[in-house]
């Protein structure tokens, strides 16, 4: 009976009830869409870093990451690469020679990290080939070509087919140099990477470094990124002399952002729901004050205060229960559309791309977020109903009945 009375009461003033339902739906939508937006942004950054610089797993000589000296190669590196290619969990493997040095054009020079790669293998593991803005990712049959980022090309003042000189130390510590022509210019989602990294062919860089078939880095892309930790654990047991790291170990700052993201989002959603709570309190309090005669009459004919309190709370809960599905459907619809078309942040792209973020964000909904946010919204509704319900209990039946 109490449920039936409460349901009829909320539709006695349809406009007020619609306002409360709309407030709940909007608050829920704001919280869930904010989470979907940042989930999409963080996941895009992770994908960008994994596909551009990190891969899922990297293997090195333990001494190599400290100073990237040419003599710190991986023992039996080619055999390890061949073995990894046979693993069913491995999608692609790329063997690289890496050094740091100077890149010089006719107008200026700057420092750069130089990657010597096997073009076909690198295309399977990295997105650089898809990020080309000019030229190609190495021409077939040509030698001494170089691929560089757009920002580095602008800094050096070079264009497609321009000549640049790479200078670095060989395996024996001798200063050596090589002349290369720009085959392609790329632009990834990380402008910092674009400004400091260049690519040449393995067979062109290795002779200059005097490393022969030696490998400095083995990059492994798995069929599923979720298996990276388990795969790295197996590889560490199999190759205990090597430094084997997952993408979370290679870039702990991204792992940290991912780890604290949920906590920050729930705090922000709590703030949104707190603002929503005051809106619901205001609306329900107005409803209670307008119904003084009704509450006075109900208490006069024998309805106890417990049932009056429960009725007001139940009305608020029913309104909230109507708003929650509306908010969820609104969020699903918005994320479904924007997940396909993206949100254009090109006005802020220069600042965002410095940190690896794309200038177009595709929101992503996580099913795990529905239950906690729905519960938080329901708790907010119950808390919002307490003060108006207590106010209704303060009415004196004899006084309330004579209220005009």
- Same domain membership, residue 225 and residue 172: yes
Q: Which helix (H) or strand (E) holds 232?
A: helix 228-238
> Domain end: 241, 271, 297, which one?
241
pLDDT for 116? 96
Q: How far apart are CA 265 and CA 39, in angstroms?
A: 10
pLDDT for 243? 96
- Tell me, yes or no, whether 57 lies in a domain: no
Secondary structure string (H, E, C) spanning 279-302: HHHHHHHHHHHHCHHHHHHHHHCC
Higher-confidence residue of 392 and 354: namely 392
pLDDT for 190? 79
pTM of the model: 0.75
Pairing of strands 109-117, 197-201: parallel
- Same domain membership, residue 132 and residue 207: yes
Output b/e per residue, 164-190; b: 16+ Cβ within 10 A.
bebebbbbeeeebebebbbbbbbbbbb
> Domain end: 217, 241, 265, which one?
241
pLDDT for 164? 97
Question: Does residue 354 have a pLDDT over 70?
Answer: no
Number of domains in the chain: 2
Residues facing residue 110 across a β-bridge:
103
Using DSSP's 3-state secondary structure scheme, residue 102 falls into strand
- Tens of pLDDT, residues 289-311: 777 777 777 777 777 778 878 88
Q: Kindly write down the DSSP assignment for every residue of 235-293, as one continuous string.
A: HHHH-TTSEEEEHHHH-HHHHHHHHHHHHHHHHHHHHHHHHHHHHHHHHHHHHHHHTHH
pLDDT for 357? 62
Question: Does residue 342 have a pLDDT over 70?
Answer: yes
- Tell me, yes or no, whether 54 lies in a domain: no
Q: How far apart are CA 77 and CA 94, in angstroms?
A: 11
- Tell me, yes or no, whether 248 lies in a domain: no
Average pLDDT, the chain: 86
pLDDT for 356? 54
- Same domain membership, residue 37 and residue 101: no
- Tell me, yes or no, whether 246 lies in a domain: no
- Same domain membership, residue 211 and residue 88: yes
- Tell me, yes or no, whether 194 lies in a domain: yes
- Tell me, yes or no, whether 81 lies in a domain: yes
- Same domain membership, residue 386 and residue 266: yes
- Same domain membership, residue 258 and residue 210: no
- Same domain membership, residue 394 and residue 295: yes
- Same domain membership, residue 304 and residue 189: no
- Tell me, yes or no, whether 392 lies in a domain: yes
Question: Does residue 314 have a pLDDT over 90?
Answer: no
pLDDT for 170? 93
- Tens of pLDDT, residues 170-223: 998 899 999 999 999 999 877 889 999 999 999 999 999 999 999 999 999 999
- Same domain membership, residue 201 and residue 76: yes
- Tens of pLDDT, residues 151-172: 999 999 999 999 999 999 999 8
Percent of the chain having pLDDT more than 70?
93
- Tens of pLDDT, residues 240-258: 999 999 998 988 877 677 7
- Same domain membership, residue 258 and residue 159: no
- Same domain membership, residue 189 and residue 127: yes
> Domain end: 182, 216, 241, which one?
241
Question: Does residue 352 have a pLDDT over 60?
Answer: no
pLDDT for 200? 97
- Tens of pLDDT, residues 366-390: 887 788 888 888 888 888 888 888 8
- Tens of pLDDT, residues 123-144: 999 999 999 999 999 998 899 9
- Tell me, yes or no, whether 84 lies in a domain: yes
Q: What domain range is 271 assigned to?
A: 2-49+254-400
- Same domain membership, residue 307 and residue 166: no
- Tens of pLDDT, residues 44-71: 888 888 888 889 999 999 999 988 899 9
Q: How far apart are CA 164 and CA 178, in angstroms?
A: 9
Q: How far apart are CA 150 and CA 134, in angstroms?
A: 9
């Amino acid at each position: 009976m109490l449920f039936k009375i409460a349901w009829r009461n909320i539709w006695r003033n349809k406009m007020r009830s619609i306002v409360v339902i709309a407030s709940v739906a909007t608050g829920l939508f704001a919280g869930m869409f904010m989470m979907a937006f940042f989930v999409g942004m963080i996941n895009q950054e992770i994908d960008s870093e994994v596909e551009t610089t990190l891969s899922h797993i990297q293997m090195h000589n333990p001494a190599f990451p400290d100073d990237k000296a040419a003599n710190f190669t991986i023992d039996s590196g080619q055999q390890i690469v061949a073995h990894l290619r046979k693993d069913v969990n491995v999608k692609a493997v790329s063997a690289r020679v890496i050094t740091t040095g100077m890149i010089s054009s006719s107008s200026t020079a700057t420092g750069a990290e130089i990657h010597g790669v096997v073009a076909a293998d690198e295309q399977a593991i990295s997105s650089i080939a898809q990020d080309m803005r000019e030229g190609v990712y190495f021409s077939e049959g040509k030698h001494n070509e170089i691929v560089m980022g757009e920002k580095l090309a602008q800094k050096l003042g070079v264009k497609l087919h321009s000549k640049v000189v790479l200078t670095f130390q060989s395996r024996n510590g001798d200063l050596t140099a090589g002349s290369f022509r720009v085959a392609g210019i790329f632009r990834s989602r990380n402008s910092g990477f674009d400004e400091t990294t260049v690519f040449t062919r393995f067979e062109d860089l290795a002779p200059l470094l005097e490393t022969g078939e030696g490998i400095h880095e083995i990059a492994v892309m798995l069929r599923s990124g979720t298996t990276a930790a388990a795969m790295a654990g197996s590889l560490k047991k199999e190759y205990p002399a090597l430094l084997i790291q997952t993408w979370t170990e290679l870039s702990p700052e991204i792992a940290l952002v991912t780890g604290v993201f949920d906590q920050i989002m729930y705090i922000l959603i709590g703030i949104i729901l707190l603002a929503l709570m005051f809106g619901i309190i205001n609306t329900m309090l107005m409803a209670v004050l307008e119904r003084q005669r009704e509450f006075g009459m109900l208490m006069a004919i024998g309805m106890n205060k417990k049932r009056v309190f429960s009725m007001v709370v139940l009305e608020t809960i029913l309104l909230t229960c109507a708003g929650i599905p509306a908010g969820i459907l609104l969020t699903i619809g918005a994320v479904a559309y924007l997940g396909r078309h993206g949100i254009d942040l090109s006005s802020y792209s220069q600042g965002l791309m410095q940190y690896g973020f794309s200038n177009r964000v595709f929101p992503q909904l996580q099913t795990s977020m529905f239950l906690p946010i729905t519960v938080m919204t329901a708790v907010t509704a119950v808390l919002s109903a307490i003060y108006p319900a207590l106010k209704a209990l303060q009415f004196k039946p004899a006084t309330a009945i004579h209220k005009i």
